[in-house]
Structure 1
Amino acid sequence: MTVPDIEDLIMHRAPMRLLDRAISIDPQHAVAELTVREDIPFVLPGRGMPAYAGLELMAQTIGMIDGFKCWSEGLPPKIGFLLGCRRYTVACDAFAVGSRLIVSVEMVFNGGEMFSFECRIADPEGRELASAMLNVFAPRDPQAFLRDGAP
């Protein structure tokens, strides 16, 4: 299976597109990678990217799943909403500039437009650097939701 370009999967663009590429994707799982660079907005000079930015890495990787569905239908990616996070744990205070990170997500709940994902950030050797459960809302028509609110 061909893995689409990351820009075909998520709406984020530079400088807020933090992921470099999609590694694998299906309707339940996604894996992406990035190298922490100094030009990433979260990166603090001399300190790297604070571990709390891992939540955004996880959220963008989750977005790849809905983006893949849109891409498969010939549609552009759409926005989704991060509702909350549970059990965010980290093994470091920051991700060093130059570090390569592998972000993986797995859907564990599908409620139609509400989803929960087990998320993980690891180094290339597989050592876990961060993990969390993220809850997201992916309305079928995000623009109508933003315009009109919940039905």
Structure 2
Amino acid sequence: HNLKKAGYPSEEKFLAASTIICRHNINELITMWQWLRDQKIVPYFEIITPQENAKHNEWLYVNPKELYDIFTRISEIDRTKYGQDWDPQPPLVGNRCLRHQFSCLVTSTGNVTPCVGVGIPIGNIRKQQLGNIIKDSEVLCDLKNYRNTIKGPCRTCEKAEYCYGCRGAAYQLTGDYLASDPLCWKNIDRQDEIVHLPVAVDEIIPQKSPMKVIDTLVSVSERCADVSVMIQKDMLFIGEDGIVDDAVYLEMMAQSIAALNGFKHLGISESEPEGFLLGAKNFKILKKSKVGDKLTISVYKYAKYGDFGVIKGTISRDEEVLAQGEIKVWHNSKPRYILKRD
């Protein structure tokens, strides 16, 4: 009432109303949409992102088939009753999510993330200038270049030129901000083509057994990866006493950053992953590891010069740091992308 008295909505005074599509309100959405249209208020309806408290309230989720039905019904109402013609696609009803082309999110603590759903910290404005954070972020670059970087069935969808699904849903459900959107109804029968982290490294690094010294890529973020390995007695570099040779720690770090690079190009490049370990600096061996230990290798690419990178790495067992230091690597950053349609 007060907004109407103040002249909203009008050509000069834009007014919109936002709601999240969930189980609690799905039966009211069509009525709500029409009421907003009748009031000249722009409706902004968005699919719920499975994150934070929503993960503890899965009863709120709406399955992709139901989402398709509600999007389609509203689209038909908009076309026939209000003269608004649009093609249904997630995550927004009657609109497209293009936020990664022009925006990011700054939290109250200064952390910068690509959006609410892709909660990967790419920097902090209390420590860096926002312009430098945006310029240097590989995550933002990947999202802007989505046509060359999105993986799985979304990559070959007929709408791929102007749609990348919900990046937040993809990240929250798979751990990969470049994965196909599992909530898109076009992917209902293609869920097995969507890769979820953690993932075995066999197909994403060039090293094969017995030279492979890592097992699983656990998580990825801004220039970072966590990788794990279970030390087995039949692995190379294991002494008769079951102790891991110190030299293998360097190779673990090198293969871990190779796993990050290989995973980024998984299924989208015609070329095999390529890379070389060029050297090490300030490398410290603090503790020994042995057969039966599960190790976590955390790597961070803190400097990059073309195809060359400087990596900080830490190898730990539970909370105990076993080794840490820097390595220099080269990776092929110009793969031949596959863009063919199904």
With normalisation by structure 2, the TM-score equals: 0.39
Name the count of aligned residue pairs: 140
Counterpart-to-counterpart distance in 1, 2:260 and 2:272: 10
Whether the aligned pair in 2 keeps the contact of 1:27 and 1:65 (CA below 8 Å) is: no
1:68 maps to 2:263: yes
The structure 2 residue matched to 1:13, chosen from 208, 223, 241, is 208
Would you say 1:99 and 2:298 are equivalent positions? no
| Alpha-carbon offset, residue 79 of structure 1 | 2.1
Deviations 1:60-103 (A, max 9, x none): 101012102221525464120111100110112x3111111100
More strand by proportion, 1 or 2?
A: 1
**1:109 aligned partner:** 303
The code of the aligned residue for 2:229 comes to L
RMSD: 1.9
CA contact (8 A) 1:25 1:68 kept: no
Moved more, 13-22 or 112-121: 13-22
Question: Tell me, what secondary structure is at the counterpart of 1:71?
Answer: coil
Q: How does 1:6-85 map to 2 (within 5 A)?
A: 6-26=201-221, 28-71=223-266, 73-75=268-270, 77-85=272-280
Contact 1:66 1:77 in 2 (8 A): no
Bigger mean CA deviation after superposition, 10-19 or 72-81: 72-81
Q: 1:137 deviation in Å?
A: 1.1
Higher normalized contact order (CA 8 Å, seq sep 6+, divided by chain length): 1
Deviations 1:25-57 (A, max 9, x none): 245111111111111111011141112210011
1: CA distance, partners of 2:286 / 2:320: 9
Task: Determine if contact 2:285/2:324 at 8 Å carries over to the other structure.
Answer: yes
CA contact (8 A) 2:311 2:327 kept: yes
The normalised TM-score by structure 1 is 0.84
The 1-side partners of 2:220 and 2:270 are apart by: 17
Q: Tell me how far 1:104 sits from its aligned partner.
A: 0.6
Q: Does 1:135 align with 2:338?
A: no
Q: State the percentage of identical aligned residues.
A: 24
The structure with the larger Rg is 2
Unmatched tracts of structure 1, length 5 or more: 143-151
Bigger helix fraction: 2
Unaligned runs of 5+ in 2: 1-174, 176-195, 336-342
